[in-house]
Structure 1
Amino acid sequence: MNERSLPATETTDRAATAHASQFALLRQRRFAPFFWTQFLGAMNDNVFKIGFTSLVTYQAARFSGVDPKTVAFLISAIFILPFVLFSATSGQIADKYDKAVLTRWVKTFEIAVMLVGAAGFWMHSAPLLYVCTFLMGVHSTVFGPVKYAYLPQNLAEDELVGGNGLVEMGTFVAILIGTIMGGIAAGIGASDGSGAAPAAAQSAMQSTTPAGAWWLGGMCIAIALIGRVASSFVPPCAPSQPGLRINWNPFSETWRNLRLAHGNRTVFLSLLGISWLWFVGATFLASFFNFAKDVLFADADVVTVLLAMFSLGIGFGSLLCEKLSRRRIEIGLVPLGSIGMSVFGIDLFFASHALPAAPHLLSVGEFLSLPAHWRVLADLFLLAMFGGFYSVPLYALIQSRSEPSHRARIIAANNILNSLFMIVSALMAMGLTAAGVGIPGIFLTTSLLNIVVAAYIYGLVPEFLLRFVAWVLVHTIYRVRLEHAERIPAEGPAVLVCNHVSYVDAVVIMAESPRPIRFVMDHRIFRSPLLGWLFRHARAIPIAPAHEDATLLAKAYDTCAQALAEGDLVCIFPEGKLTKTGDMNPFRHGVTEILKRTPAPVVPMALRGLWGSAFSRHAASGQERPVRRGLTSRLTLAVGEPIAPADVTVDGLQEIVAELRGARR
């Protein structure tokens, strides 16, 4: 987004919050009305779905022809079916029209849908409630591309992580509140928590409408009305492609959207990563009612506790992302998230087998009084927290790397993939249930599959894994201070030049760069099985001295020139080798050779504080190799002003880097 496209007041708001907490966005019109609109929509989805699921799970006698064992998975599948059918069309609509106007249309439609849902509750009609479930899926399908295309159009890039974190947090807080409201309302007037009753009792139950059904219907309508009021304050949001001609054929457009998303490999694989998260999340969330009833021997109110821990976990993880990523798009958090999801998902399986039996369905108080249940709650909270680490950077990456002209259609492609994965998750869970696998077994299967999928994705895109290694290094072993990191270009070609102090120089620079870098590295590194594989896939450029391999040297220069021509960042260490004394070695002429082929700005940088750490050379330093310093080192990455290629000289560049480094080595 360009500041010139913003009204003056919005430009001022953004400038005022450039370094403020992400919560400052909640006080601004460009974000707050949109936030509360999507918040109320998510809450209403869950009041309805949880109320419906709770009634048919714990009061099955009121609904003829409904299997309480599989109904939660069926409701989930019906809700996401519209995402498969209509996401492609919704993406085109979001690109063509004002997103604020579309938001208001969607919220008006929600009111009509909830009138249908209320009738279903009041008549305890499962078919009518299934129709409402499908229509709410249509509502969410249309709003999805609007929601995620609105953010990058109205937030600066350094606000995207915080804004996405707030939306993710808000969504799951809304899920929590909707779950509590839906669960409580469904329980009002319930006379039988077992889901079974004698024939005479069933007949009496079916002939009356409990107070809970009236409450559910009324709440759904009221929330829809409040959401419509909130949407009226969303400011105008110019269409990104007003001249787009809409293809109303959902099948051909779905295929075209998927091909469009496939055009950017990193974006497409990020879409698959998010879709896999929805596979995992849908499996766990849809299992909670039967998990509470059949495994924890608990009543419907305990489902609310489970969903509360899950929602609080993902909300906390989403908010924590901004702090951990320093307001940047930090994809190194994605592998951390997937590791945590698998670890705590597997532990939840074992925790579920260490539970005491109960003579009756436990109330919330009875459930919380048993220590074994706290392990279950901790697993759910931590699994969800790591899910927040996983999802927020991926959403921000997709938004930042998608072309603005068709960003909404990329989001639509994401919704298509999400829905397909969620339908498969529902079918898997129903199939495993039919085969006699219990809910803990479904949790274990999903967690093990998560390991396989994560390994596959990170094998295809080692950038995620490299950023994870870099993030862990600079957040555990080192404490990094940045000086003028904003001088590293956010777009366009540049040659980064830095002193060479340790074996982890490239990793530190990688961790602090706002975008991928192609590092020029000694060819010997590429011979090691692990590092060579990683850096080859990270598109590092091998180089050798002329006396060792003149052909490889010339090829390295040509590859650097080509990378710059394609708009990439290239980083070179002109000393050509690690320092043995802590002092800088003379710079070689590699930089000028690269610039002869493709002129580009040169950004000088200097690392301070790595000399004397566990990753530097000490043989000639006369220093003891202190372990403590290697584990708690403070280091600085200082970035100088960019230099025009015509002004670059080897001696002048070395002088600038030496000045940036200063006396500290």
Structure 2
Amino acid sequence: MSQHSQFTLLSQRRFAPFFWTQFLGAFNDNVFKTALLTILTYDALSWTNMDVGLLNNLIPGLFILPFVLFSATSGQLADKFEKGRMARNVKLLEIGIMLIAAVGWQTHNLWLLIAAVAGMGIHSTLFGPVKYAYLPQHLKTDELVGGNGLIEMGTFVGILLGEILGAMLVVHKPWGIELVAGGAIVVAIMGYLTALRIPDSPAPAPELKINWNPATETIRNISFSKQNRPVFLSLLGNSWFWFYGAIVLAQFPLYAKNYLHGDHSVFVLLLTIFSFGIGAGSLLCEKLSGHKVEIGLVPFGAIGLSVFGFDLYLSSLSYTNVATVGAMEFIKQTGSLHILFDITMIGIFGGLYIVPLFALIQTRCDPKHLSRTIAGMNILNALFMVVASLSAVAMLEKGFTIPQIFMATAILNAIVAIYIFSLVPEFLMRFIAWILIHTIYKVKTINTERLPDEGAGILVCNHVSYMDAIVIMASSPRPVRFVMDHRIFKIPFMSWVFRTAKAIPIAPAKEDPWLMEKSFIDVAQALHEGDLVCIFPEGKLTATGELNEFKGGIMKILERSPVPVYPLALRGLWGSVFSRDKSNSFGRAFRQGPFSKLELVVGEVMQPQDVTPQALQEKVSELRGDWK
């Protein structure tokens, strides 16, 4: 897997025009929405007599209502038509909406502005399925995490800059309203110009017949997604993130004004810090995942969202200032840095949570149905965000303070995360594997790009320690099913990890002939389904650090399933506390210390007709070299 930088994508036409089109759309959305929310918060009487707290939660809800009504149709359109053309048409629509908004600004017509908010919701609804279905068509598998990270970073930087500019311009005297109205039109035109350079993206299902009934198509989309359980639960996990974010972000205007006693610059500061965190977390995903789709980061992100969401409640309690302050004065107040730190960390862990989910959906979904799956996700997102708005309104009416809303949301997040990860333990298992190889070991992978992106294959590796399967599992870009000694399979706690990974226990014929035969049947079934299967042909852990003789089980597997074989070698695990090195275990642990270096090396693929146990042993021995 090439260790390229994700930033090189920004210089390539297959990515850059699409990135800037998305960036400018997110920027424009938020210049407009934030300007409207800011003027209603700080100059409400000039516009309306309605309750400001209600409007702050109602307007975001109206923005996402079109996602419920039109996502099903937009997903079909994105699967049926070329995506570059779709993007250009959506940008033309944005220009028209911003012209309507300009009339609303100039006439102080709040309802016309609210109509434009709904119009921008339609714009985003149409563009959403295009956005996430476009990337898998133009990026390689090992570029998807980096590409998604850049899109999420760009989106939230666009949100950040839009929120800052919208909040600052609209209160500028005497031309603030005019600058917001005219600037939004200019940005919409720029978005159209960048969309003109988006390369052709052939429609995956041009023969698709459009079902114009949003209700029946929505049910059909969600029903289709349910057939792929990991994808569907990833959709739910994604929607939950937007529930969490919608509640938190909707409180920022009044939190800044009424609780932190800040002017609009404090509100801008909170948005800046949060968006910076999201961008940083999104970019960190590529580094932490090792250029592969690492869903183990999702539980890590969920933990951070709850921990720092709850801590935001606690840090808010220690804030005692009651005088109105600007951003610089706010930073000097007791407890302010703690609040800003919590908001930053919520953003960072949010990025770690959301980017791997997008990449998983893109890689495990049927390409011909990807846009409609994304549309189904947008429908779920919209429903969750509507519920978030209603929940926030209900909590405010019940007398919750805004910090208490943060606390309640953090607790709900923990409950939902536990529920989702109990349904799909692969997330938690990958998290545990990821944690182990980033705390106990520092793993370097060599030539992992030789492993296939799809299709069946057998991985063959030397057997050095009880950690071998965990290291391979965490280093592989794809899920791997392991064939392992039934005694290792039964080790407490590790057994749960191996069962979750759908490992296949095996026993010697003289010990349990039934289990041995069942193991070969299970391996054949896994290969038939296109999985990667890893075996340790030595049949036991090495007691000396040297390779044991490779057994003939690989030949029995290949007789039933003649698939490619990939030799692997682990270096550096011998002598660890998890190996059978008979020297002092405490001394070994102290000698190696945390972040012990080890390597996983992948050799060139072998065709089944060229495989023998002896040839495989020579290949693995050569790959391992002298480093045990």
Q: Same fold (TM over 0.5)?
A: yes
The equivalences for 1:19-98 within 5 A come to: 20-98=4-82
Deviations, residues 72-117 of structure 1 (Å, cap 9, x unaligned): 1111110101001100100011111111111111111111111221
1:604 is matched with 567
2:257 is matched with 293
Structure 2 counterpart of 1:343, which letter?
V
2:200 and 2:273 map into 1 onto residues whose CA distance is: 37
1:229 and 1:536 map into 2 onto residues whose CA distance is: 52
2:87 is matched with 103
Structure 1 counterpart of 2:521, which letter?
D
Deviations, residues 579-634 of structure 1 (Å, cap 9, x unaligned): 22212222222222222222222212111110111221222699952424042321
Shift of 1:177: 0.8
SS at match of 2:530: coil
Does structure 2 retain, via aligned residues, the 8 Å contact 1:582–1:621?
no
Matched, 1:335 2:319: no
Structure 2 counterpart of 1:434, which letter?
E
Residues 528 and 484 from structure 1, CA distance in 2 versus in 1: closer, same or farther, beyond 3 angstroms?
closer
1:267 is matched with 231
2:466 is matched with 503
1:530 and 1:95 map into 2 onto residues whose CA distance is: 44
Structure 1 residue runs of 5 or longer lacking an equivalent are 1-16, 190-209
**Equivalent in 174, 177, 182 of residue 213 of structure 1:** 177
Matched, 1:175 2:139: no
**Equivalent in 375, 399, 410 of residue 338 of structure 2:** 375
**Equivalent in 633, 640, 643 of residue 606 of structure 2:** 643
Deviations, residues 477-518 of structure 1 (Å, cap 9, x unaligned): 222222221222221111111111111100100111110011
Residues 347 and 462 from structure 1, CA distance in 2 versus in 1: closer, same or farther, beyond 3 angstroms?
same
Residues 235 and 652 from structure 1, CA distance in 2 versus in 1: closer, same or farther, beyond 3 angstroms?
closer
Of stretches 293-302 and 23-32 in structure 1, the one that deviates more from structure 2 is: 23-32
1:661 and 1:605 map into 2 onto residues whose CA distance is: 8
1:615 and 1:524 map into 2 onto residues whose CA distance is: 15
Residues 126 and 525 from structure 1, CA distance in 2 versus in 1: closer, same or farther, beyond 3 angstroms?
farther
RMSD: 1.8
2:413 and 2:477 map into 1 onto residues whose CA distance is: 28
1:623 and 1:577 map into 2 onto residues whose CA distance is: 24
Shift of 1:20: 3.8
Does structure 2 retain, via aligned residues, the 8 Å contact 1:614–1:630?
no
Matched, 1:484 2:447: yes
Structure 2 residue runs of 5 or longer lacking an equivalent are none
Residues 19 and 539 from structure 1, CA distance in 2 versus in 1: closer, same or farther, beyond 3 angstroms?
closer
Matched, 1:131 2:115: yes
SS at match of 1:548: coil
Does structure 2 retain, via aligned residues, the 8 Å contact 1:558–1:597?
no
Structure 2 counterpart of 1:271, which letter?
L
The equivalences for 1:184-203 within 5 A come to: 184-189=168-173
1:233 and 1:163 map into 2 onto residues whose CA distance is: 18
Matched, 1:118 2:102: yes
2:63 and 2:585 map into 1 onto residues whose CA distance is: 68
The equivalences for 1:158-169 within 5 A come to: 158-169=142-153
The equivalences for 1:349-364 within 5 A come to: 349-359=313-323, 361-364=324-327
1:287 and 1:420 map into 2 onto residues whose CA distance is: 19
Shift of 1:400: 1.6
Normalized against structure 1, the TM-score is what?
0.91
SS at match of 1:348: helix
SS at match of 1:638: strand
Matched, 1:493 2:477: no
Normalized against structure 2, the TM-score is what?
0.97
Shift of 1:525: 4.5
Residues 116 and 629 from structure 1, CA distance in 2 versus in 1: closer, same or farther, beyond 3 angstroms?
same
Does structure 2 retain, via aligned residues, the 8 Å contact 1:458–1:465?
yes
2:586 and 2:153 map into 1 onto residues whose CA distance is: 49
Deviations, residues 43-92 of structure 1 (Å, cap 9, x unaligned): 11101111111111121212324211121111111010100110010001
Matched, 1:563 2:547: no
1:532 is matched with 495
1:612 and 1:20 map into 2 onto residues whose CA distance is: 33
Deviations, residues 317-365 of structure 1 (Å, cap 9, x unaligned): 1112112222221112111111111111111010000001313x21112
SS at match of 1:29: coil
Of stretches 298-307 and 317-326 in structure 1, the one that deviates more from structure 2 is: 317-326
1:101 and 1:274 map into 2 onto residues whose CA distance is: 27
Does structure 1 retain, via aligned residues, the 8 Å contact 2:429–2:500?
no
2:314 and 2:68 map into 1 onto residues whose CA distance is: 35
Deviations, residues 416-473 of structure 1 (Å, cap 9, x unaligned): 1111111111111111111001111111111111111111122122222222222222
**Equivalent in 210, 214, 225 of residue 246 of structure 1:** 210
SS at match of 2:493: helix
Residues 271 and 310 from structure 1, CA distance in 2 versus in 1: closer, same or farther, beyond 3 angstroms?
same
2:625 and 2:587 map into 1 onto residues whose CA distance is: 22
Structure 2 counterpart of 1:84, which letter?
V
1:386 is matched with 349
SS at match of 1:291: helix
Deviations, residues 546-603 of structure 1 (Å, cap 9, x unaligned): 2332111111111011111111111111222222221222222222222222222221
Does structure 2 retain, via aligned residues, the 8 Å contact 1:580–1:621?
no
1:657 is matched with 620
**Equivalent in 393, 414, 422 of residue 451 of structure 1:** 414
Matched, 1:313 2:277: yes
Residues 61 and 622 from structure 1, CA distance in 2 versus in 1: closer, same or farther, beyond 3 angstroms?
closer
Of stretches 592-601 and 244-253 in structure 1, the one that deviates more from structure 2 is: 592-601
2:590 is matched with 627
Does structure 2 retain, via aligned residues, the 8 Å contact 1:482–1:636?
yes
Shift of 1:645: 2.0
Structure 1 counterpart of 2:61, which letter?
A
Structure 2 counterpart of 1:418, which letter?
N
Matched, 1:405 2:364: no
SS at match of 2:481: strand
Deviations, residues 384-419 of structure 1 (Å, cap 9, x unaligned): 011111111111111122222121111111111111
Structure 1 counterpart of 2:115, which letter?
V
Residues 526 and 157 from structure 1, CA distance in 2 versus in 1: closer, same or farther, beyond 3 angstroms?
closer
SS at match of 1:260: helix
1:593 and 1:607 map into 2 onto residues whose CA distance is: 24
Deviations, residues 244-300 of structure 1 (Å, cap 9, x unaligned): 111111111111111222222111111111111111111111110011112111111
1:256 is matched with 220
Does structure 2 retain, via aligned residues, the 8 Å contact 1:186–1:213?
yes
Shift of 1:528: 5.1
Shift of 1:18: 6.1
1:652 and 1:108 map into 2 onto residues whose CA distance is: 62
Shift of 1:519: 0.8
1:519 is matched with 482
Structure 2 counterpart of 1:413, which letter?
G
1:575 and 1:509 map into 2 onto residues whose CA distance is: 16
Does structure 1 retain, via aligned residues, the 8 Å contact 2:320–2:334?
no
Of stretches 531-540 and 452-461 in structure 1, the one that deviates more from structure 2 is: 531-540
Does structure 1 retain, via aligned residues, the 8 Å contact 2:301–2:352?
yes
Residues 592 and 467 from structure 1, CA distance in 2 versus in 1: closer, same or farther, beyond 3 angstroms?
same
Matched, 1:283 2:267: no
Of stretches 517-526 and 507-516 in structure 1, the one that deviates more from structure 2 is: 517-526
Matched, 1:470 2:433: yes
SS at match of 2:52: coil
Residues 489 and 230 from structure 1, CA distance in 2 versus in 1: closer, same or farther, beyond 3 angstroms?
closer
